[in-house]
């Protein structure tokens, strides 16, 4: 026993200090992602045939790339760190997409709870899980047909060995503030999480074993919510964020973390990681200048100028006629100075910062280096 663990320690030492170990040694053959706009790489746009306009995508893809961002999302940086290609959306079918290393079921605007009739996205979490089931069945059918499709689809064991990532819940909370009181929203959180649990249990039943779950960010610091719910200064915290929204996000996160612990306890053969995105983002907004940003709350792409540069009538890149006058939500001159991209989503620069913090392992429960032998501490 002792000598075996000694050998493992030496191996770990070599691995950690080898000059090649600059990226995480996750060794996942594939990633399956579920969520909302925080990790949507083109699902909503493909799924409802909508369009994103420039300057979305300008800083990295040089064109709108299905992401509500000027560039890459957290999931893109994490895929990079895992040495895997960007995830293709499940619904994006044109151009010989490859799903060999995974598939993205996330769609902007999605909720955990079933979508209401006027929802931005019909692809709520239950639908995303159902899409995954369909995806898996088709992959297994195609694999039986021989090698022809291998380039495009995951291998059979990828479903068990793959990483299942989740970033969803923000829209359940943020959307509720338009029609419910804070108390009602806080009381509804267990219902949201029961639905989430149902979904991850279904995935477990299908063979998923590696779960990576992001909690929700400080919703009250999103420009859109400050513009709508923060006009009364007594509703704002010391950073200028809407207190009630952040209170809801924190309670959601406490209960989500408890769910992760419970789920881990019920499934000892699974690995469940909870990642505290809230703390990373709140710290970024509190200490933005230290991380090279100039504007913690104002949107880069928007309309209206100071202090928030946000107008809910005109989304980033669009032009609307308001009162007989054309107004356009334009990009700022340097989006890397902004934490917020379009009032609702983070800029690529902010996403890169958040990803670097995720990859320290410090915000995870359990922390990376501890009980997760395949997650070595990251040099960044």
Ligand X SMILES: *[C@@H]1O[C@H](CO)[C@@H](O)[C@H](O)[C@H]1NC(C)=O
Nearer to ligand X, 67 or 281 (CB): 281
Among 179, 289, 323, 333, binds ligand X (CB under 6 A): 323
Q: Which of 70, 342, 347, 364 is flagged as catalytic?
A: 342
**Candidates 76-84, 169-177, 279-287, 302-310 — which segment interacts with ligand X by CB under 6 A?**
279-287
Q: Which of 214, 245, 274, 345 is flagged as catalytic?
A: 345
**Candidates 99-107, 205-213, 278-286, 302-310 — which segment interacts with ligand X by CB under 6 A?**
278-286
**Candidates 66-74, 254-262, 282-290, 365-373 — which segment interacts with ligand X by CB under 6 A?**
282-290
Cβ neighbours of 325 (radius 10 Å): 7
d(CA 32, CA 101): 9
Residue 36 CB, shortest distance to ligand X, in Å, is 24
Question: What does the DSSP assignment read for 239-269?
Answer: TS-BHHHHHHHHHHHHHHHHHHHHHHHH-TT
- β-bridge partners, 322: 325
**Are the CB atoms for 253 and 213 separated by under 8 Å?**
no
Cβ neighbours of 279 (radius 10 Å): 17
Residue 68 CB, shortest distance to ligand X, in Å, is 25
Nearer to ligand X, 161 or 318 (CB): 318
Among 98, 283, 356, 369, binds ligand X (CB under 6 A): 283
Task: Examine the residue annotation and report whether 214 is marked as an active-site residue of this protein.
Answer: no
Distances (CA, A) of 182 to 64, 242, 287: 36, 12, 28
Q: What torsion do the CA atoms of 228, 234, 235, 238 make, to the nearest 10 degrees? A: 110
Nearer to ligand X, 323 or 333 (CB): 323
Question: What does the DSSP assignment read for 325-380?
Answer: EEEE-B--S-GGGEEESSSSSB-HHHHHHHHHHHTTSTTEES-HHHH-TT-PPPP-
Residue 283 CB, shortest distance to ligand X, in Å, is 3
Total number of residues binding ligand X (CB under 6 A)?
Answer: 6
User: What's the sign of the alpha-carbon dihedral 109, 115, 116, 122?
Assistant: positive
Among 68, 164, 282, 288, binds ligand X (CB under 6 A): 282
Q: Which of 338, 316, 343, 340 is nearest to 328 (CA)?
A: 316
Nearer to ligand X, 181 or 312 (CB): 312
**Candidates 1-9, 69-77, 146-154, 281-289 — which segment interacts with ligand X by CB under 6 A?**
281-289
Among 286, 360, 369, 372, binds ligand X (CB under 6 A): 286
Work out whether 287 is an interface residue with ligand X (CB under 6 A).
yes
Nearer to ligand X, 198 or 287 (CB): 287
305 burial level (CB within 10 Å; 0-12, 13-18, 19+): exposed
Cβ neighbours of 201 (radius 10 Å): 15
314 burial level (CB within 10 Å; 0-12, 13-18, 19+): buried
Nearer to ligand X, 83 or 237 (CB): 237
Contact string (CB under 6 A) for ligand X, positions 59-88, x = contact: ------------------------------
Residue 138 CB, shortest distance to ligand X, in Å, is 45
Nearer to ligand X, 57 or 296 (CB): 296
Residue 356 CB, shortest distance to ligand X, in Å, is 15
Task: Examine the residue annotation and report whether 37 is marked as an active-site residue of this protein.
Answer: yes
* Angle ∠(154,132,350) on CA atoms, nearest 5: 85
**Candidates 45-53, 218-226, 254-262, 280-288 — which segment interacts with ligand X by CB under 6 A?**
280-288
306 burial level (CB within 10 Å; 0-12, 13-18, 19+): exposed
List contacts with ligand X (CB under 6 A).
282-283, 286-287, 322-323
Report, as residue numbers or ranges, the catalytic residues. 37, 342, 345
């Amino acid at each position: 026993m002792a000598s075996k663990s000694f050998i493992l320690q030496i191996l770990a030492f070599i691995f950690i200090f080898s000059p090649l170990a600059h990226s995480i040694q996750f060794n996942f053959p594939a990633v399956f992602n579920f969520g909302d706009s925080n990790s949507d790489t083109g699902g909503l746009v493909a799924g409802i045939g909508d369009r994103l306009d420039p300057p979305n995508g300008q800083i990295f893809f040089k064109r709108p790339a299905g992401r509500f961002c000027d560039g890459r999302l957290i999931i893109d940086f994490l895929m990079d760190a895992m040495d895997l290609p960007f995830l293709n959306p499940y619904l994006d079918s044109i151009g010989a997409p490859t799903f060999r290393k995974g598939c993205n079921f996330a769609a902007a605007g999605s909720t955990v709870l079933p979508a209401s009739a006027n929802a931005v996205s019909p692809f709520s979490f239950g639908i995303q899980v159902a899409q995954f089931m369909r995806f898996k069945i088709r992959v297994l059918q195609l694999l039986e047909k021989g090698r022809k499709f291998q380039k495009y689809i995951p291998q059979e064991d990828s479903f068990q060995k793959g990483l299942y990532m989740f970033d969803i819940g923000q829209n359940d909370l943020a959307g509720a503030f338009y029609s419910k009181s804070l108390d009602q929203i806080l009381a509804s959180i267990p219902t949201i999480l029961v639905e989430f649990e149902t979904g991850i249990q279904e995935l477990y039943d299908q063979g998923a074993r590696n779960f990576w779950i992001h909690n929700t960010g400080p919703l009250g610091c999103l420009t859109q919510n400050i513009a709508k719910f923060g006009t009364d200064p007594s509703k704002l915290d010391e950073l200028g964020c809407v207190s009630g929204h952040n209170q809801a996000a924190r309670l959601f996160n406490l209960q989500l973390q408890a769910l992760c612990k419970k789920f881990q306890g019920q499934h000892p053969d699974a690995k469940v990681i909870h990642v505290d995105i809230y703390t990373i983002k709140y710290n970024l907004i509190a200490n933005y200048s230290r991380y090279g940003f100039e504007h913690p709350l104002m949107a880069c792409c928007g309309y209206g100028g100071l202090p928030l540069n946000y107008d809910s009538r005109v989304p980033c890149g669009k032009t609307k006629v308001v009162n007989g006058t054309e107004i356009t939500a334009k990009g700022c001159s340097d989006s890397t100075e902004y934490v917020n991209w379009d009032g609702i989503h983070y800029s690529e620069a902010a996403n890169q910062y958040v990803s670097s913090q995720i990859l320290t392992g410090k915000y995870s429960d359990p922390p990376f280096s501890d009980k997760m032998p395949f997650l070595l501490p990251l040099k960044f």
